[in-house]
A and B are shown apart, each in its own frame.
Chain A
Amino acid sequence: MADYKLRRSLLYVPGNMPSMLQNIPLFQCDAVQIDLEDAVPLAEKDAARILVRRFLDNYKNRNKEILVRINGLDTKWALDDLKTVLPAIPDGIRLPKADSPEIVEHLDTMLTEYEEELGLQVGFFKILPSIETAEGVLNAPKTAKASTRLIGLAFGAEDYTATMEINRTKTGEELFNARMNVLWGAKAAGIQAIDSIFADVNDMESLRKETELIKKLGFTGKCMINPRQIDIIHDVFAPKQEEVDYALEVIEAIKRAREMGTGVISLKGKMIDRPVVVRAARVLNTARAHGMVDVVINEEDINGTE
C-alpha cells in the first residue's frame, strides 16, 4: 500500500534565483521542486547548481520535502547536477523526460553509487519521474515499476502537448487519455499520481476546476509554479467534513456487520461492503494526514479477522 505522506502541492522554484530559493522555508506547500532544468538558461546551468547546493547546505531545519529537478539524463548537465547537489541531501530527484523504465533504472543505479559514497542507506534518495511525452505516457505502467525509489508518477502536460503537437486547453479534454494511463500505471504500482502545473496564475477559477477534475480522476497532488496557487489546491484536496463523518460511520457499520457474522450491511439505505470500506479507509487516512481525525485505520478494520 502506498504511504500516506501528503504530496498535494509541489511547488517549482527556479534554481538560479536567490530571492525565490530563500523563501522556500516560508512556503506552505508540501514539497518544493528546485529546478535546474527549464527555469535555468543554458549559460547558467553551472552557477545554478552551485547556488542550489549552497542554499541546501544552509537550509538545515527543513520543513517540507525537497526534490531537485535535474536536467534530463540525455543532456551533458545531468551528471554534474547530481554530483553537485546530492551531497546537500535533498529528499529526491525529479527526473524529466522519463520516457522509459530504463531511464529510471539508470538514475536508480547512479543514486545507489552516491548513497554508498555519502554513507546513506541505499534507497534514501527518492525519484519522481516526469511522464511528459507520448512515449513516456505509453510506457508509464512499466516506468511506475522500474524502481522501489519511486514515490509517484508526475504527469507533465506542457511538454506532453508539445510532443503531441496540440494546444493545451483549460478544460483539458486533450489530456484525458494520457492522464488515465499515468493514473493506471501509478495505481497499479501502488505509488502516488501527481498532476501537471496550471500555467495561468491569474485564473484561480480554472485552477480550482482543473484540480477538482484531477482529484476526481485519482490524482493525489498537483505541481505548481506560483505559491499563490497553494491555498486552492489544498482546499480542493482537503477531505470535506461530511466525507469524514460518513467514512467514520462506514467503519462503525462494517464492525457491526462482522459482529453479526456478515460482510455486508445497510447504512442509511446504502449497501456497505469491502470496496466501500476501502474507500472510507482512504478518506480517513487522508483526513488523519490533514489532522482532522486521529483514528488509525489498519488492515483488520478493512478486512476483518479470520
Chain B
Amino acid sequence: MQILKKGQAGTMQSSDLMVTVEPADGLSIEIESTVKKQFEHLIRARLEATLSKHGVSSGKISISDRGALDYAIEARLEAALQRAGGV
C-alpha cells in the first residue's frame, strides 16, 4: 500500500506508543523511546516487518514509544497506515 496522507495512531500512555506516518520519497524511520538504548533495534525490526507485510516501501515513519510490546507496535503502525490511505 501507499501512504497517501498523514496518519496517526496510538496514545502517550504507558505501554503504548504514538505512530505518525507521512508521505515521503524514500523510507525513513525515526524512533523516540523511553527504552531506546536497550530496545531500539527490536522496535525497528518490528516496524520494518510490519511495513513490509503491508508492502510499504516509502514514507516517513516516526514513533514516540512508552515501552510498548511488539503486538502494540504492530497494531498502532497498522492503524496509522490504515488512516493514511487504507491497508
- The interface of chain A, by Cβ under 8 A from chain B, is 16-19, 22, 46-47, 50-51, 53-55, 57-58
Contacts and interface: CB of A to CB of B under 8 A. Distances in A.
B35 interface: no
Interface string B11-52: 101111000000000000000000000000000000000000
Contacts of A57: 71
Interface string B67-84: 011111011101100110
Contact of A18 (B9, B15, B78, B79): B15
Contacts of B82: 46, 50
B69 A51 contact: no
Interface size range of chain B in the complex? 10 to 19
Given A18-B16, A19-B15, A46 B83 contact: yes
B54 to A, nearest CB: 12
Contacts of A50: 75, 78-79, 82
Given A18-B15, A19-B13, A47-B9, A54 B71 contact: yes
Contacts, number: 47
Nearest to A23: B15
A55 B73 CA distance: 10
A18 B74 CA distance: 12
Contact of A47 (B14, B68, B76): B76
7 contacts: A18-B68, A19-B16, A22-B69, A22-B72, A51-B72, A53-B75, A58-B71
B79 to A, nearest CB: 4
Contacts of A19: 13-16
B40 to A, nearest CB: 19
Of B68, B69, B70, most A-chain CB atoms within 10 Å? B69
Contact of B76 (A22, A51, A53, A58): A51
Contacts of A16: 11
Of A16, A18, A53, A58, most B-chain CB atoms within 10 Å? A18
A-B pairs with the 9 shortest C-beta distances? A47-B79, A54-B75, A19-B15, A54-B71, A51-B75, A18-B72, A18-B15, A58-B71, A50-B75
Contacts of A53: 75
B10 interface: yes
Given A18-B72, A19-B13, A51-B72, 15 more contacts: A16-B11, A18-B13, A18-B16, A18-B71, A19-B14, A19-B16, A22-B15, A22-B71, A22-B72, A46-B82, A50-B82, A51-B76, A54-B71, A54-B72, A58-B70
A46 B79 contact: yes
Contacts of B14: 19
Contacts of B75: 47, 50-51, 53-55
A17 B76 contact: no
Nearest to B14: A19
A61 to B, nearest CB: 15
A54 B74 contact: yes
A284 to B, nearest CB: 42
A46 B83 CA distance: 9
A51 B76 CA distance: 7
